[in-house]
Chain A
Amino acid sequence: MTPNAVAFYAFAVLIVLAAGAAVGLPSLRRAGYAGAAVIVLLALLELVSGAYALAIVQLVVPGIAVGVVVLVLRHDAYRELLTAPPMPERFWIAAPIAIGIAAVLVLTLAVVGNGWAPTGDVVRLLNGAQLITVLHYRAPYALAIAVVAVAVTVGASLVIGRRSADEQTLDQMLQQRRQREELARRRREDREQGRRRPARNDS
């Protein structure tokens, strides 16, 4: 299904704006919202283009990943990770490289034109095949590998991100040390104040 031109251009502008916001906004929280908007807009673009199954995959798989990230970042220990102060960006090196790559890509695509699209026998052989059909009959091993990759990723992420017993003990010791230092600081300040008070009365 050829997408409607107005819908395509509307989604294209929104996707570029959201992507720009995702990399350009200093606040990471807002940048995250913009990134989520990019995912939703991509799924909508795929719906408009007629790739219904792909739109579902586009929403569900990254949606689960984003959900896990949000759950982790809501934990007290990681709040500071999201609220880190904005750091100066390396605009002077990033912008020329990005513009150069965009120019090369657009130039290449303009030269090739519609030559990217397969034609002839390939089209006749596969004409009308849906995503589910292709995954089931033409790429079953790739589908299995993708499922295994997801399972391995979940396992690896859990192993990497877990808090071992040693780390828990270390965290407790660090917290106790911070509390002791805080207590000592308060006592020191109280002593200092106690010493200053009689001096003021004498004068």
Chain B
Amino acid sequence: MTVGPGQFAVLSAAVFAIGIYGVLARRHPLGVAMAIGLLFAAPVIAMVGFTHAAPGPIATGDALAAFTVVAGSCVCSLGFALIVLLWRRTGRADIDELGDLEG
């Protein structure tokens, strides 16, 4: 029994769908940030699969995956900083209530 890029891609699709569910279902901003982290993790799985389970290893996929990991961490860090700022200013931790903010 062998593992090809297809299996990695299906796993990636499953993780991406779970992340989408988290972004839409969660109402706490920290939960949404975690779900966004899953959205970034999904293509990493796919790229690892295309690189290492394909005939002929090409590390370009690894390079793309590494940049994705860095970008995902940056986005989640900035998101967390914004969540902390909003919490301090409004004392609210509900995405729906944050949508009602007025300038």
Contacts and interface: CB of A to CB of B under 8 A. Distances in A.
Do chains A and B interact in one complex?
Answer: yes
B98 interface: no
Interface bracket on B: 35 or more
B11 A49 contact: no
A15 B17 CA distance: 13
A129 B77 contact: no
B17 A94 contact: no
Contacts of B73: 61-62, 64-65, 150, 153
A32 B25 CA distance: 16
B93 to A, nearest CB: 5
B27 A89 contact: yes
Interface string A29-72: 00110010011001001100111011001100110110011001
Contacts of A89: 25-27
Given A61-B69, A102-B14, A42 B45 contact: yes
B44 to A, nearest CB: 7
A150 B77 CA distance: 10
Contacts of B60: 126, 129, 134, 138
B45 A45 contact: yes
Given A20-B18, A78-B87, A114 B28 contact: no
Contact of B54 (A5, A61, A117): A117
A81 interface: yes
A98 interface: yes
Nearest to B67: A146
A163 to B, nearest CB: 8
B36 to A, nearest CB: 11
B66 to A, nearest CB: 5
A88 to B, nearest CB: 8
User: Which of B21, B50, B65, B70 has the most chain A CB atoms closer than 10 A to its own CB?
Assistant: B21
22 contacts: A2-B3, A15-B15, A16-B15, A19-B14, A24-B22, A35-B37, A49-B53, A51-B51, A54-B44, A62-B73, A81-B83, A87-B94, A94-B21, A94-B25, A95-B21, A97-B21, A98-B18, A123-B55, A124-B56, A129-B58, A161-B85, A163-B88
Interface of B: 1-7, 9-28, 30-31, 34-35, 37-38, 41, 44-46, 48-60, 62-63, 65-67, 69-74, 76-78, 80-85, 87-88, 93-94
Q: Which 8 A-B pairs have the closest CB atoms?
A: A23-B22, A117-B54, A102-B17, A123-B56, A105-B13, A94-B25, A94-B24, A98-B21
Given A51-B62, A129-B59, A142-B63, 8 more contacts: A23-B18, A23-B19, A35-B34, A58-B69, A65-B80, A90-B27, A131-B59, A158-B81
